[in-house]
Amino acid sequence: MDFDVTFLSRLQFALTIMFHYLFPPLTIGMGVVLVYLEGMYLWKREPIYETAARFWTSLFAISFAAGVATGIVMEFQFGTNWSAYSRFVGDVFGSALAAEGIFAFFLESGFLAILVFGWDKVGPGFHFFATLMVSLGSIFSAVWIIVANSWQQTPAGHHIVQMVRDGKPWVINGQPVMRAETLDFWQVVFNPSTVNRLTHTLIGAFILGAFFIMSISAWYILKGRHLDFARRSFTGALIFATIFSAAGLVSGDFNARMVAHHQPAKLAAFEGHFKTGVADLHVTGIPSEKEESVRYGVTIPGGLSFLTNRDFNAEVIGLDRFRREDWPPLNTSFFSFHIMVGLGVFFIVLTLYAAWLRKCGSLFQKRWLMWVFVIAVLGPFVANQSGWVAAEVGRQPWSVHPRVVRDAAGAIVYDSQGLVQYVAQEGLRTSDAVSAKRTSGEVLSSMAMFGAIYGLLFWIWLFVLNDKIQKGPKPVHAPERTTARGLREAAAGRTLHEDSLSEAKEPLNGEEEQGR
């Protein structure tokens, strides 16, 4: 393998974003659960809901902090490692990142302190509002990041112009420098893949947040600690997990059809589909680029044809209709996609079974199942990472994927060799997006530094997380009801000490001073 600057820069960005991506889906998912818990407390006024909300907020806060710290580094890499990419997409990305700052960062920074530290300083209603704003802020952040990333997948609302410097066309190493210039902001926002990809991403985050809460709750149940808190937390999270696991299957279907239309090479790589024609859906297998087949494959005949066209006999474009240099990395695309799909099916089966047991009243007696849920939290982490890898690696060899040429009827146009044609000038190859002056040694050294810092940060996150879990939630008790006698005693006490705010009068009738 050639460890050139392009490969190392891709690897560094992948490592930094994959580490960062441990945290935003978790906080997005937990944020929605926090809104639910505080809403239930406002509705029912049962202290157990406030107890749960306070505890999960403490875990939310440390994960949120880790996400912020790791997210800053990624934007630096646009300048250090991907300057050509930044020149090309800057006009488009600038708007999306500015919108993220306005809509997301202001909400999060303005209300986060109230969410974390304001429990005994503001009223329940305003604290609920702060929780809602932080949750919306985290979702808005995802919206604008997905908008920017989806534009790379299915660009729209722009045109390509040559950059000018000192009144002359800008040329580097004999090549004109081009850039994307926004024509219609809302077409950029609602490019063909934004809604599908945003929906699927948020569903993945909600699943992760729910499984995270179920994992810790199941551990408490197994240890016999905080049982009322744990059972209620588990039940609430199970509702979220069951609903969104099923929703993930639906949104995944929409995404697959979108990819088939706009990025047929990516879909072919996902399924190891080499020959254009009726396509089977692979459940398992090992793709072989050399043999142009999937070895040891277990398939659903015509499954991919049905998935993309609702017809078991429909033709699906294979990798044979693309130039070799335009093929995505096959093994990584295939396995990451199938890991994500396999875990998604596992979540559906697991949550439906648990929901049925909960209805029957025997869920918490199944200790083996509680252990499954303790460990199962790793599943959504892996599924989210695998989904991101599949989406980004499947886009290769493009940083900005060009449009597929289609005729007036919407059919794909092929060249004289029968290969799919792209509007190549609208795309940017990854090999052309990297900074020209970086060396392999510089990228390796910075990668090692990031690895050390992130390793330390991950250890701190786990240490603090474990400490809070071991201590558990602090019960919040309902305020004692005030009786008529209590009101008279309070009034008498106030009369007794009304002369001074700092000094108490001598007790009357020789009574001993309270609390001595």
User: What mean pLDDT comes out for the span 479-484?
Assistant: 51
By percentage, how much of the chain surpasses pLDDT 90? 51
490: in domain:
no
Of all residues in the chain, what percent carry a pLDDT higher than 70? 90
**Rounded Cα–Cα distance for residues 451 and 432 (Å):** 26
Q: Could you tell me if residue 492 is inside a domain?
A: no
Give the whole-angstrom CA distance, residue 351 versus residue 227.
20
Burial class (CB in 10 A: 0-12, 13-18, 19+), 398: buried
Q: What is the pLDDT of residue 478?
A: 62
Q: What is the DSSP letter of 504?
A: P
- What is the structure's pLDDT at 172? 67
- Distance (Å, rounded) from C-alpha 344 to C-alpha 359? 23
What single DSSP character describes residue 366?
Answer: -
pLDDT, tens digit, for every residue of 2-55?
Answer: 578 888 888 888 899 999 999 999 999 999 999 999 998 889 888 888 899 999
Instruction: Quickly tell me which residue has 């659960």 as its tokens.
Output: 33
Residue 18 burial (10 A CB sphere; 0-12, 13-18, 19+): middle
Q: What CA–CA distance (Å, rounded) separates 24 from 71? A: 9
Is 496 inside a domain boundary?
no
Q: Are both 136 and 102 inside the same structural domain?
A: yes
178 and 255 assigned to the same domain: no
Q: Which two tokens stand for residue 411?
A: 């059919």
Structural domain of residue 163, as residue ranges?
158-190
Q: Are residues 93 and 207 in the same domain?
A: no
Q: Are residues 169 and 146 in the same domain?
A: no
Q: What angle do CA 329, 24, 232 make, to 5 degrees?
A: 120
- Same-domain pairing of 210 and 106: no
At 360-371, the pLDDT tens digits run 989 999 999 999
pLDDT of the residue at 305: 92
Q: What is the pLDDT of residue 500?
A: 42
Q: Which amino acid is at 403?
A: R
Instruction: Report yes or no on 355 lying in a domain.
Output: yes
Q: Cis ω on the peptide bond leading into residue 397 (within 30° of 0)? A: yes
Q: How confident is the model at residue 497 (pLDDT cuts 50, 70, 90)?
A: very low
Mean pLDDT of 276-294: 89
The answer to whether residue 498 scores a pLDDT higher than 50 is: no
Q: Looking at the structure, do residues 112 and 34 belong to the same domain, yes or no?
A: yes
Residues 224, 84, single domain; the answer is no
Torsional class of 302: left (φ above 0), alpha (ψ -120 to 50), beta (otherwise): left
Model pLDDT for residues 84-132, shown as the tens digit of each residue: 888 888 888 888 888 888 888 888 888 888 888 988 888 889 999 999 9
Contact between 209 and 31 under an 8 Å Cβ cutoff? The reply is: yes
Residue 489 clears pLDDT 70, i.e. is over it: no
| Co-location of 5 and 44 in the same domain | yes
* Residue 247 pLDDT exceeds 80: yes
Residue that has been written with the tokens 């009738």 in this structure: 509
SS3 of residue 291 by DSSP: coil
Residue 425 has pLDDT above 70, yes or no: yes
Based on the domain organization, do 266 and 392 belong to the same domain? yes
| Residue 101, number of CB atoms within 10 A of its CB | 12
Q: What pLDDT was estimated at residue 504?
A: 42
Going from the C-alpha of 282 to that of each of 54, 285, 294, 337, 404, the distances in angstroms are 45, 7, 9, 11, 25
Res 374 pLDDT > 80: yes
Q: How sure is the predictor about 174, in pLDDT bands with cuts at 50, 70 and 90? A: low
In a domain, 482, yes or no: no
User: Is 477 a member of any domain?
Assistant: no
Q: What is the DSSP letter of 103?
A: I
Two tokens, residue 493: 């006490």
What does the alpha-carbon distance between residue 263 and residue 148 come to, in Å, rounded to a whole number?
17
Q: 89 and 63 in one domain?
A: yes
Is 145 within the bounds of a domain?
yes
Lowest-confidence pick of 53-67, 73-87, 142-156, 475-489? 475-489
Look at residue 310 and tell me if it is in a domain: yes
- pLDDT of 508 > 60? The answer is no
pLDDT in tens, 177-214: 788 888 899 999 999 999 999 999 999 999 999 999 99
Contact criterion met (CB below 8 Å) for 378 and 206: no
- Look over the chain and give the mean of its residue pLDDT values, rounded to a whole number: 86
H or E segment to which residue 246 belongs: helix 227-262
Read off the pLDDT of each residue in 136-147 and give the average, rounded to a whole number.
Answer: 91
What's the residue count for the chain?
A: 516
Say how many domains are in the chain. 3
Q: Is residue 25 reached through a cis peptide bond, with omega within 30 degrees of 0 on the bond before it?
A: no
